[in-house]
Amino acid sequence: MVRYGKEHKAETRRRIIETAGRRFKRDGIDGSGVSTLMKDAGLTNGAFYAHFESKDDLVTTAIADQLKVQAENVVAQAAPGRAGIEQIVRGYLSPQHRDNLGDGCPNAALLDEIGRCTDTTRQAYTDGVLVLIDGIASRMAPEAPSSARVKALGLLGLLAGTLQLARALTDRQLADALLEQGVNNALALLDADQRV
C-alpha cells in the first residue's frame, strides 16, 4: 500500500472540495476567499494552487460535487414514486432546511450567483443538475416521457425559489407560512400533473 502516494493528495483535495462547498453555500462564492477556504480545510493558502488551477476551477469542481452528493442523497434516501417526492418536498421546504445553509441545497444557496459564473462553471452546473433532476423525474413519471425532465426542473425552480424567499424574509412566521404554502403548491402541481 502506498503511504504518502496518491491517496494523500486525493484525500486533501476532496477535503478542500467538501469544505469549500459548505463555505460557498454559507457565505457565497464571491464572499469566500481562497485563504479562508484553505483554512477551513486545515491548510494555508499557498497549498491551494497545488490542487486547483484557480479559484474558478475550485468553484466549478465544488458545484459539481455538491450536486452529485445531493443527487445521491435523493436517490438513496427517498422512497420511490410519488411518496418519495412528497418526502423530498417536505424535507426541502422545512424550517430546518431554511436555517441550515451549510448542509442545504446548493441550488437554493447559489443559484443566482451561478447564473453569473463563467460558461465552464455553468456547464458543470447544468450537467450536475440534470443528474439530480433525473432522480426526481423518475419518481414523478415512472414511464419517463421526455417532458418529465422539464417538469422536474419546474419543481426544482419552485423549491429553490421558495426556500430562498423564506430565507430572505425577516418575519419568521411569514417565512414559515410561505414554506407550508410551498409544500401545498408543489403537491398541487404533482397532482395536477397526474390528472392529465
Partner DNA sequence: TCTATGGTATGGCGAACGTAATCCAAATCG
Partner DNA sequence: CGATTTGGATTACGTTCGCCATACCATAGA
Instruction: List residues near a copy of itself by CB under 8 A.
Output: 26-28, 30-31, 107-116, 119, 122-123, 125-126, 129, 149-151, 153-154, 156-171, 174, 177-178, 180-182, 184-185, 188-189, 192
Which residue's CB is nearer to a copy of itself, number 3 or number 146?
A: 146
Quote the CA–CA distance of 65 and 18 in Å, as a whole number: 8
State in angstroms the smallest separation of the CB of 143 from DNA: 46
State in angstroms the smallest separation of the CB of 36 from a copy of itself: 14
Q: Does 34 bind DNA (CB under 7 A)?
A: yes
Out of 21, 23, 32, 135, name the contact with DNA by CB under 7 A: 32
Quote the CA–CA distance of 56 and 159 in Å, as a whole number: 27
The stretches of the chain forming alpha helices (DSSP H) are 6-27, 34-40, 55-77, 81-92, 95-98, 106-114, 119-140, 147-168, 172-195
Neighbours of 50 (CB within 10 A): 10
Query: C-alpha angle with apex 90: 188 to 142, nearest 5 degrees?
Result: 60
- Please, which residues have CB within 8 angstroms of residue 185's CB and are 6 or more apart in sequence? 158, 162
Quote the CA–CA distance of 39 and 17 in Å, as a whole number: 12
Q: Does 1 bind DNA (CB under 7 A)?
A: yes
- Binding partner at 28 among a copy of itself, DNA, none, C-beta below 5 to 8 Å by kind: a copy of itself
Q: Does 12 bind DNA (CB under 7 A)?
A: yes
Out of 14, 28, 47, 100, name the contact with DNA by CB under 7 A: 47
Binding site for DNA (CB under 7 A): 1-6, 8-9, 12, 32-36, 38, 42-51, 54-56
